[in-house]
Structure 1
Amino acid sequence: MKNLLRPTTAGFLNTDMTVTAWETDLTTTNGSDQAFHEPNTELIILQLLTAIVALVGLSGNAVVLWLLGFRMRRNAFSVYILNLAGADFLFLCYQFIHSLALVFNFDFVVRVISRFLSPLLTFVYISGLSFLSAISTERCLSVLWPIWYRCRRSRHMSTVMCALLWALSLVLSMLEGNYCFLFIWNTQHVWCPVLDFITVSWLILLFVLLTGSSLALMTRLLCGSHRVPPTKLYVTVMITVLVFLLCGLPFGIYFFLLFWFDAFPHLEKFVVLLSCVNSCANPIIYFFVGSFKQRWWKQRHTLRLVLQRALQDTPEVDEPGESLPGGTLAMSGNLVS
């Protein structure tokens, strides 16, 4: 089945490889007259793990969306976090439905998802990487050139950037879906290789921005004579970037690069699980950083307050029973309330 598909980024969206592997375990082998075999236990376990991780991640990202969307006043960086949580939520929603369809062998559902909803996966993955790169880059600018950043940065820059990144990701995924996926079973469209090259180039640029800004920020804060004390926001961004490099990046490398060369065909299910772990880990990181070193037995902490602490951009004053003043969360003229 795989040799019928074009070796391009559409493979990232095409789940027929998984369906084929699934069906192979249900059909006869070596000329045997047996009609069916038991499903591959390893594949079932991996899909169940993916569904469980996706369900946990959906709950965590839903809480972040609720708090940042309706319970807190947004600032420069929380706008990016809000949009990143939205991209993670859509990604996990797709993977949860797809994994359950594979576990219960809903072949029709799997094929419908693969054929008509596959561009959604490209859309949310590119969007998520775009938001994470924007967070790291803007955080780096705010540390390296603080005066320029505070004086020249537009108040609504985060909102505008997120809208542009959503739009660009949507355009790329729609073009891929129109010129590549609709021609999977026929001939390849002439624009398909060009769109693949543009998409991969954009992802490589985002990765360079992400790693470059993260290394520059780490060097500025931890090395040299003019070191700046790291804040909780810095810790949140660094851990989020590190988890993405370990769990989220293999997904993009496999489906956007290795699939071109038909390499490691059985690696797909593992990188999908890792990508779900990455999207699931982000809310856990926010709440872990926000609650770290807090005296829970002396002070009642709500999820809202914990998330506020995770986005705090000034050194924290450790005093028992102290609540967060609004000024400590001020960034670029906006407050988190």
Structure 2
Amino acid sequence: MDPTISSHNTEPTPLNETGHPNCSPILTPSFLVLITALVGLAGNSIVLWLLGFHMRRKAISVYILNLALADSFFLCCHFFDSLLRIIDFYGIYAHKLSKDILSSAAIIPYISGLSILSAISTERCLSVLWPIWYHCHRPRNMSAIICTLIWVLSFLMGILEWSFSGFLGETHHHLWKKVNFIITAFLMFLLLLLSGSSLALLLRILCGSRRKPLSRLYVTVFLTVMVYLICGLPLGLYLFLLYWFRAHLHHPFCQIYQVTAVLSCVNSSANPIVYFLVGSFRQLRKHQSLKIVLKKALEDTPEETDFTDSHLQKTTEMSESRC
């Protein structure tokens, strides 16, 4: 009965109509999301600017461009969602529906990001396992077509989830459960495709009698997949496996949701860092532009080491002296 005591501290936290938790306001995860989102938006904006206006479009660059767009969309949703939660915590007016819409809108870039990452890994795997078939039968605009289909499918799933959850009209709980089941099955399929293709690609490069030389592009793909499995996957498991059962969540589970949200923002922010680290590896003493660094991170040709260069130079000098 004390009006100074918040109801968030006295009642268990139920789920709202959209399946997202009505968590008690904790500022630490919100501030972490704000800082991480700002860093990630800056990095992804640089990638979008370079790939969109200053570099030649290739198959892999089209995928990376759309992946950076999905990461930026995802970070924007969580940035404004955390900003509204902080405003609401300090007593300034913030509409609850706005936060729910932003949380649900983040589903679209999450699905598209995982789909694009799975497409990258699968296409790289095909290019290594069946190189002749891949280079001869691959359509010229296949990357753009796949990315367009991914975005259309992601928006369609997001609109269906909004429609049956009560955002755009009457709540249809039975249909909403079916839509969530379809989304969950689709995400599980993408996860299996991503894991299987990445594992096959790794084994083909590191094992076997006909091993493919390791290039910067494969290092970029492997590191991006590893970052997603560590930081991005927990949010998907939480949203679409736990919420699908409509469990009655209490405060500790809401903290888990906030931790997974922070980790997913770290995943979207880490991709540009991975590109620039891989592109600038062994080039720390050279002053290179971000365009050249990003271009090197997406190179599919194996890099010659200093030992290889010196060995070739010595061989050339010996052959010339003999002549």
What RMSD over aligned residues (CA atoms) do the two structures have, in Å?
2.0
Q: Residues of 2 paired with 1:108 and 1:77: CA distance?
A: 44
1:55 aligns with 2:38: yes
User: 1:87 is matched with which residue?
Assistant: 70
Cα gap change, 1:223 to 1:4, in 2 (>3 Å): closer
User: 1:176 is matched with which residue?
Assistant: 161
User: 1:5 is matched with which residue?
Assistant: 16
Name the TM-score, length of structure 2 as normaliser. Answer: 0.84
The answer (yes or no) to whether the contact 2:81–2:102 under 8 Å persists in 1 is no
User: 1:257 is matched with which residue?
Assistant: 241
1:310 aligns with 2:291: no
1:291 aligns with 2:274: no
Q: Residues of 2 paired with 1:4 and 1:223: CA distance?
A: 48
Matches within 5 A, 1:41-190: 43-105=26-88, 108-109=93-94, 111-182=96-167, 187-190=171-174
Structure 2 stretches of 5 or more lacking a match?
Answer: 1-11, 310-323
1:234 aligns with 2:218: yes
CA deviation digits over 1:184-225, x for unaligned, max 9?
9x6534321211111111101100100000000000000111
1:271 aligns with 2:260: yes
CA deviation digits over 1:253-296, x for unaligned, max 9?
001102234363431110000000000000000000000011x4
Cα gap change, 1:79 to 1:125, in 2 (>3 Å): same
Structure 1 stretches of 5 or more lacking a match?
Answer: 23-42, 323-337
Number of corresponding residues: 289
Cα gap change, 1:117 to 1:266, in 2 (>3 Å): closer
The alpha-carbon deviation at position 318 of structure 1 amounts to 4.5
The alpha-carbon deviation at position 229 of structure 1 amounts to 1.1
1:243 aligns with 2:227: yes
Report the 3-state secondary structure (helix = DSSP H, G, I; strand = E; otherwise coil) of the residue aligned with 2:57. coil
Question: What amino acid is aligned across from residue 266 of structure 2 in structure 1?
Answer: V
The answer (yes or no) to whether the contact 2:112–2:151 under 8 Å persists in 1 is yes
The alpha-carbon deviation at position 50 of structure 1 amounts to 1.2
Cα gap change, 1:52 to 1:153, in 2 (>3 Å): same
The alpha-carbon deviation at position 183 of structure 1 amounts to 7.7
Cα gap change, 1:113 to 1:167, in 2 (>3 Å): same
Question: What amino acid is aligned across from residue 279 of structure 1 in structure 2?
Answer: S
Name the TM-score, length of structure 1 as normaliser. Answer: 0.81
Higher Rg? 2
Matches within 5 A, 1:317-328: 317-318=304-305
